[in-house]
Amino acid sequence: MGDTPDKITVEVVRLSHSGDLPLPSYQTQGSAGMDLRAAVGEPLTIPPGDWKLVPTGLSVAIPIGFEAQVRPRSGLALHNGLIVLNTPGTIDSDYRGEIGVILANLSRVAFTIERGMRIAQLVFSRITKVIWQEAKSLPPSVRGDGGFGHTGS
* Domain presence at residue 3: no
Model confidence at 153, in pLDDT bands (50, 70, 90)? low
- The residue segments making up the domain with residue 65 are 12-126
* Domain presence at residue 119: yes
Q: Is the dihedral of CA 115, 116, 119, 123 positive or negative?
A: positive
What are the CB-based long-range contacts (under 8 Å, 24+) for 17-23? 17/41, 17/55, 17/57, 18/55, 18/56, 18/57, 18/58, 19/57, 21/57, 21/115, 21/116, 23/58
Model confidence at 5, in pLDDT bands (50, 70, 90)? low
Q: What is the pLDDT of residues 70-126, one digit of tens each?
A: 999 999 999 999 999 999 999 999 999 999 999 999 999 999 999 999 999 999 999
* Domain presence at residue 146: no
* Domain presence at residue 150: no
Model confidence at 143, in pLDDT bands (50, 70, 90)? confident
* Domain presence at residue 152: no
Tally of domains in the chain: 1
